Amino acid sequence: MYKTSLLCFVLAVTIRYGGAMSKEEKSVIQSKLLGTGLDCIKDHPLSLLDIRSLKNKMLPDSKNAKCFAACLFKKIGIMDDMGKISPEGAVEGAKEIFKNGDEHLKKIEEIFTTCASVNDRMTADGEKGCDRAKLAFGCLTENAAKFGFDIDF
C-alpha cells in the first residue's frame, strides 16, 4: 500500500524550469525518483500522512520521513556521504538529464549553492543527514520559484 502511495506521489512530482522541460527529461527524473524512492522506502517507510505532507511541500518531522529524504538525496547525488548538500553533485546528476541545458545547469547550481547554507547548521544526527535533509527540503521548496523552478507534488 505504501509503495503504491509512493508511486502516485513520485509520478505526481513535476519539476519545471521556465516551463522548458521536455517530456523525456521529466520522464527520466520521475523514473529516477521512483526507483530510488522505492529503494529508500524499504528502510524508511512513509505513512500516508507523511505522503500527504510531502504533497503539501512539507517534510514531516518524523524520523522515517527525514531519513527517507536523506536517503533519496544521497542516492541522487544532491547530498554527499557526510550528510551535506552538494551543489556539485546536483549539477553532475543534472548533466545526465539535461544534455543541452547549460541554462538548467546554471540554475540548478545556483539553487543548490543557496541551499548548501544548511551545511553550516548544527544537526543532531551528523553524517546520517536526516535533520539536514529536512532543512534542505525546506530551503529548496522555499526558493524554487526565485530560481525559476516550479515544483508540484
Residues facing 45 on adjacent strands? none
Phi, psi of 132 (to 5 degrees): -70, -35
Q: What is the pLDDT of residue 5?
A: 42
What's the rounded Cα separation, in Å, for the pair 38 and 22? 24
Which residues span the domain enclosing 12?
2-152
Total domains present in the chain? 1
CATH of residue 137: 1.10.238.20
Task: Express each pLDDT in 29-49 by its tens digit.
Answer: 777 888 888 899 999 999 999
56 or 97, which is more confident: 56
What's the rounded Cα separation, in Å, for the pair 65 and 110? 26
Residues facing 85 on adjacent strands? 79
Instruction: Pull the grid cell for residue 60.
Output: 514531516
Task: Express each pLDDT in 74-122 by its tens digit.
Answer: 999 999 999 999 999 999 988 887 776 678 788 889 999 999 999 999 9
Give the type of residue at 38: L
pTM assigned to the model: 0.82
Which residue is it, cell 553524517? 127
SS (H, E, C) the chain: CHHHHHHHHHHHCEEEECCCCCHHHHHHHHHHHHHHHHHHHHHCCCCHHHHHHHHCCCCCCCHHHHHHHHHHHHHHCCECCCCCECHHHHHHHHHHHCCCCHHHHHHHHHHHHHHHHHHHCCCCCHHHCHHHHHHHHHHHHHHCHHHCEEEEC
